[in-house]
């Protein structure tokens, strides 16, 4: 093991032996904002006029509220000795970014929400300056990942923080990927990610001997071939929503560092028209959740995530869909602990043929899908990988992109079923290779407006339509693929009541979801339901396709309001989810 140098006084991080060192760069950064400016024109030189916290959505802060343009951020850090390499880890940003280290550009990205890495190359001991430019403007251009019409607010900033990961060794173990291989025997495969410090490339040694220990027990020597070894977890306990047991593994490669990972042993699969968790059929009862807070937007804290998870568990739910972008790893950590099954998905919303035929859009979509699946490999809570909510799946372009994405996600070898949520039922073309079908449907709300006149007609139409669409898919795809409702619901205003259930009252929404959820639970084909949506959320502000349906710039379909106050619908959903 190479010796580590102690850091000079005032440096940011302590001496730490044996592993890639993680330095948080969160805190107040120097800041300036140029309204209307483009990130492509930005340079690393700027005069700071303000300070801005990281993490934070800058466009929700008072001076910059709802403004669009390019923000500059600057932060200095100090390291105690020369390192052969490091990388910057950006835990979700909006909406496009460029980074400079000591005036040299080290990377750029258009992948909002994804966890991004940028290699810095060798660094000398002493002070360094990191500059970022973040552009939150929205364009309808087909190579843009965040389109202006998406039904959630496009926001600028660092959502979950920035880290510097310092490598002291030229080739150093950086991460472990733990894949479940057999839940009955606790067999897992551990793959090593050994990083070349200088250029950030992966190093895959033919054979390497490493010390492996599970759950703090004595280490054993294990031979990794091509960076992989298959092992049985001693005394393993299965992970499930009712018993979210987690294990730890530590791997040390003498001379090349060490890494730890937390993981769970479980199997989730699709077969015979059902979802199966650890060999038992499971019905998915859950919600769609935007990772967004009333005041802080996408810069959600761990405590607000945990609060939401407790509210979701409190409904008797076992499932959350991370609509409509890749979740932060913090959220997945908490889902692992809380015992909540997760559908993660890539950023997208009703993407059209122009986007799906644009080579840059296709390449970026594939990259974000790979990044998402790779980041979440060790999380037992993540059971579904999905993409592009409600894209135009009726077209050959949609089918081609869906097939590429299904293959790319399967190639990550996570064992997870792959699919997407569709809002097209007839002439749907893109479910060719998916593992299950999820449909989004709003009978008597977005569709068949005017059929909710009486409680009887609402009940009839909601149940009839939800059932008819499930049967269309069953007929088209056969009995093997499970079918679930990816979204259903309607809107209500918190605190607005009407004894006869006027539309937009809490009573109407409770009645609506009472029918939809009751149908889903009782229907023999439908194997899950994710209510649209967990809580009211920010979206189109003063414009947008359906602005009259978005009072105060919010999507009001939440069964909790934006402050997480419970509406009557939450009570109704809880009653149905917890019924014996």
- The site for ligand ADA (CB under 6 A) is made up of 151, 323-324, 389-390, 423, 440, 446, 487, 532, 555, 557
380/318 Cα distance (integer angstroms): 13
Pick between residue 290 and residue 481 the one whose CB is nearest to ligand ADA. Answer: 290
Pick between residue 241 and residue 489 the one whose CB is nearest to ligand ADA. Answer: 489
Q: How far is the CB of 59 from ligand ADA (least distance, A)?
A: 21
Q: Convert 517-538 to b/e letters by CB count within 10 Å (16 or more is b).
A: bbbbeebebbbbbbbbbbbbbb
156/334 Cα distance (integer angstroms): 25
Q: How far is the CB of 426 from ligand ADA (least distance, A)?
A: 17
Pick between residue 77 and residue 149 the one whose CB is nearest to ligand ADA. Answer: 149
Q: How far is the CB of 9 from ligand ADA (least distance, A)?
A: 51
378/374 Cα distance (integer angstroms): 9
Q: For residue 521, which of 574, 560, 480, 461 has the smallest C-alpha distance?
A: 574
Pick between residue 131 and residue 423 the one whose CB is nearest to ligand ADA. Answer: 423
SS3 readout for 337-350: HHCCEEEEECCCCC
Q: For residue 131, which of 168, 96, 105 has the smallest C-alpha distance?
A: 105
Q: How far is the CB of 468 from ligand ADA (least distance, A)?
A: 18
Pick between residue 225 and residue 546 the one whose CB is nearest to ligand ADA. Answer: 546
Using the Cα atoms of residue 133, residue 135, residue 141 and residue 147 in order, give the sign of their dihedral: positive
Q: How far is the CB of 344 from ligand ADA (least distance, A)?
A: 15
DSSP state letter for 65? T
Cβ atoms of 70 and 37 within 8 Å: the answer is yes
**Local structure of 471: helix, strand or coil:** helix
Cβ atoms of 89 and 347 within 8 Å: the answer is no
Q: How far is the CB of 136 from ligand ADA (least distance, A)?
A: 20
Pick between residue 87 and residue 491 the one whose CB is nearest to ligand ADA. Answer: 491
**Local structure of 312: helix, strand or coil:** helix
Pick between residue 131 and residue 557 the one whose CB is nearest to ligand ADA. Answer: 557
Q: Which residues pair with 134 in a beta bridge?
A: 71, 97
Pick between residue 3 and residue 427 the one whose CB is nearest to ligand ADA. Answer: 427
Pick between residue 256 and residue 539 the one whose CB is nearest to ligand ADA. Answer: 539
Pick between residue 77 and residue 349 the one whose CB is nearest to ligand ADA. Answer: 349
Q: How far is the CB of 526 from ligand ADA (least distance, A)?
A: 17
425/421 Cα distance (integer angstroms): 11
Region label for 17, one of left (φ > 0), alpha (ψ between -120 and 50) or beta (otherwise): beta
List Cα–Cα distances, 419 to 257, 259, 340, 353, in angstroms: 38, 32, 19, 19
Using the Cα atoms of residue 180, residue 319, residue 281 and residue 525 in order, give the sign of their dihedral: negative
422/158 Cα distance (integer angstroms): 30
331/43 Cα distance (integer angstroms): 33
| Residue with nearest beta carbon to ligand ADA | 151
358/349 Cα distance (integer angstroms): 16
Q: How far is the CB of 311 from ligand ADA (least distance, A)?
A: 19
179/380 Cα distance (integer angstroms): 9
579/514 Cα distance (integer angstroms): 12
Q: How far is the CB of 392 from ligand ADA (least distance, A)?
A: 13
Pick between residue 511 and residue 536 the one whose CB is nearest to ligand ADA. Answer: 536
């Amino acid at each position: 093991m190479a010796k580590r140098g102690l850091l000079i006084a005032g440096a940011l991080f302590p001496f730490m032996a044996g592993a890639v060192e993680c330095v948080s760069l969160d805190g107040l950064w120097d800041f300036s904002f140029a309204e209307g400016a483009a990130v492509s024109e930005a340079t690393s030189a700027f005069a700071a006029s303000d300070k801005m916290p990281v993490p934070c959505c800058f466009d929700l802060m008072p001076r910059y509220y709802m403004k669009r343009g390019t923000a500059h951020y600057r932060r200095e850090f100090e390291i105690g000795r020369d390192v052969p390499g490091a990388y910057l880890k950006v835990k979700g940003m909006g909406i496009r970014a460029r980074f400079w280290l000591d005036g040299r550009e080290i990377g750029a990205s258009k992948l909002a929400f994804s966890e991004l890495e940028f290699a810095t190359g060798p660094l000398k001991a002493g002070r360094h300056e990191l500059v970022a430019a973040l552009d939150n403007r929205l364009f309808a251009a087909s190579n843009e990942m965040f389109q202006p019409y998406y039904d959630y607010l496009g926001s600028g900033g660092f959502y979950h923080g920035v880290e510097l990961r310092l490598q002291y060794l030229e080739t150093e173990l950086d991460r472990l990927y733990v894949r479940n291989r057999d839940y009955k025997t606790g067999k897992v495969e551990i793959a090593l990610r050994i990083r070349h410090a200088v250029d950030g490339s992966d190093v895959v040694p033919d054979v390497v001997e490493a010390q492996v220990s599970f759950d703090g027990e004595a280490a054993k020597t294990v031979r990794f071939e091509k960076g992989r070894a298959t092992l049985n977890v001693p005394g393993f306990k299965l992970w499930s929503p009712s018993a979210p047991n987690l294990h730890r593994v530590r791997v040390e490669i003498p001379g090349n560092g060490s890494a730890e990972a937390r993981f769970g042993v479980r199997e989730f699969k699709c077969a015979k028209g059902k979802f199966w968790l650890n060999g038992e059929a499971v019905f998915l009862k859950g919600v769609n959740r935007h990772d967004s807070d009333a005041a802080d937007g996408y810069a959600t804290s761990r405590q607000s995530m945990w609060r939401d998870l407790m509210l979701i568990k409190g409904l008797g739910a076992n499932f959350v869909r991370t609509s409509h972008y890749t979740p932060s790893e913090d959220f997945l950590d908490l889902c692992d602990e809380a015992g909540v099954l997760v559908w993660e998905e890539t950023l997208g919303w009703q993407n059209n043929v122009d986007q799906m035929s644009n080579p840059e859009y296709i390449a970026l979509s594939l990259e974000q899908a790979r990044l998402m699946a790779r980041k979440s490999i060790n999380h037992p809570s993540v059971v579904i990988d999905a993409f592009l909510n409600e894209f135009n799946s009726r077209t050959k372009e949609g089918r081609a992109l869906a097939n590429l994405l299904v293959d790319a996600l399967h190639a990550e070898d996570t064992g997870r079923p792959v699919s997407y949520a569709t809002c097209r039922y007839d002439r749907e073309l893109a479910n060719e290779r998916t593992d299950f079908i999820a449909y989004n449907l709003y009978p008597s709300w977005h569709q068949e407006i005017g059929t909710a006149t009486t409680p009887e007609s609402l009940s009839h139409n909601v149940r009839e339509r939800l059932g008819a669409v499930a049967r269309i898919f069953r007929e088209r795809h056969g009995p093997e693929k499970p079918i679930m409702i990816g979204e259903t619901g309607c809107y209500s205003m918190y605190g607005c009541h009407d004894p006869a259930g006027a539309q937009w009252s809490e009573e109407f929404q409770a009645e609506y979801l009472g029918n939809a959820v009751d149908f889903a639970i009782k229907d023999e084909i439908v194997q899950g339901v994710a209510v649209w949506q967990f809580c009211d959320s920010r979206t189109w502000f003063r414009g947008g396709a359906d602005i009259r349906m978005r009072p105060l710039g919010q999507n009001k379909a939440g069964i909790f309001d934006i402050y997480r106050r419970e509406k009557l619908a939450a009570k109704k959903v809880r009653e149905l989810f917890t019924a014996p």
